[in-house]
Amino acid sequence: MRRPRKPATRFTASLLLVSAAMGPLFPPRLSSATAQAPACSVEQVALRTADGAVLHGIFYRPAAKPRPTALLLVHGFGANFYEAYFPSLAQAASREGYATLALNMRDHDAGPKVFDFADNQVDIAAGLAYLRKQGYAKLALLGQSMGVNRVLYFQAASGDPGIVATVLLSGPGNLFAWNVWQFGKEKAQATVDQALAMQAAGRERELMLVDLGPLGKALYTPRYLLSLRGPQARSDPYQNIHKVANPILIMQGTADKLVEPGVAERLREAATSSPKVELIYIAGADHSFTTREDVVAQRILAWLKQIGL
């Protein structure tokens, strides 16, 4: 979750931002004395999902000593594949031999939200299928913020046996409970009731203005809102993590003001099917781990090696 902002109008703009975070994609030629081998090759990808959506992303392939495990990075609300720590994490992973795909979900960036939360299942499936085509049989899922809810729902719904590890960062918890924390139960329920009334009137694809507190305001369809926090929503991470049977790493910043205290602990307690669950707090880190990107990468990569990947 993050404060919405004006989205890039062209995909080339996103590639420029990746380049800014990584350094030039095509740097000046260095002399043989000073040239250093790059940690990875970087490829822009456009994937088509099973239901026809087109998703853009960046694939980072390690230049040397590749491991059999690849990571899929899944962003949170209003975010995308090139922001926060994703580029720096992918480069660090490449230096250790891990391939990484950072992929947009279909409801990336700011702008009206019209899809069903469950649609992200086919988005994640498309990313995993791409990694498998690249030759990676062992796959790790990483979710940031609402991406935590996405990757947990994917695993609960799909039961994909190829997922060998799950990394959860800054998870917001139950999304209706998050709104209760922000606004109180009466206001949180009133928004759900409005969406239910519009749905009952056949208006579930019309737009409604939704107050997101510290994240500003956004346009949702009732369909989208109810899929996140309605009575039949499938986004609850505590229910879904119970079905995850691979090792889980949970990371939380101690200065994160967007997540209710105790969410990370509750996730750990709910992960009863996992053979190994570790919770790491990053001192002084905010929701996006600003200025702590190197620490995040180090801890994640150390954990992957610890569990034998």
Contact by Cβ (8 Å): 187, 249: no
* Mean pLDDT of all residues in 206-227: 96
**pLDDT higher than 50, residue 143:** yes
Cα–Cα distances (Å) from 1 to 48, 50, 149, 171, 295, in that order, read: 25, 26, 11, 9, 20
H or E element at residue 278: strand 277-282
Band (pLDDT 50/70/90 cuts) for residue 36 is: low
Greater model confidence, 104 or 28: 104
**What percent of the chain is helix, strand and coil (3-state, nearest 5)?**
35, 20, 40
According to the model, what pLDDT value does residue 11 have? 41
pLDDT-based confidence at residue 37 (cuts at 50, 70, 90): low
Mean pLDDT is lowest, of 1-10, 231-240, 272-281, for: 1-10
What burial letters (b/e) apply to 138-162, b meaning 16+ CB within 10 Å?
Answer: ebbbbbbbbbbbbbbbbbbbeeeee
Percent of the chain with pLDDT over 90: 85
Closest CA to 168 of 146, 141, 148, 140: 148
Q: Does residue 259 surpass a pLDDT of 70?
A: yes
Helix and strand numbers (H, E) in the chain are 10, 10
Domains and CATH numbers, the chain: 37-173+236-306 (3.40.50.1820), 175-234 (no CATH)
Please state, rounded to an integer, the average pLDDT across all residues of the chain.
90
The answer, yes or no, to whether residue 238 has pLDDT greater than 80, is yes
Neighbours of 184 (CB within 10 A): 11
Is residue 172 predicted with pLDDT exceeding 70?
yes
For the beta carbon of residue 181, count every other beta carbon within 10 angstroms: 18
CB 238 within 8 A of CB 246: no
Output the CA angle 240-246-250, nearest 5 degrees: 70
How far from chain centre, in Å, is Cα 265? 19
- CA torsion sign for 236, 230, 126, 9 is negative
Q: Would you say the C-alpha torsion 227, 231, 234, 239 has a positive or negative sign?
A: positive
Give yes or no for residue 3 having a pLDDT over 80. no
Confidence band of 297 (pLDDT split at 50, 70, 90):
very high
Q: How confident is the model at residue 83 (pLDDT cuts 50, 70, 90)?
A: confident
pLDDT at 27 over 80: no
Name the token pair of 304: 């992957």
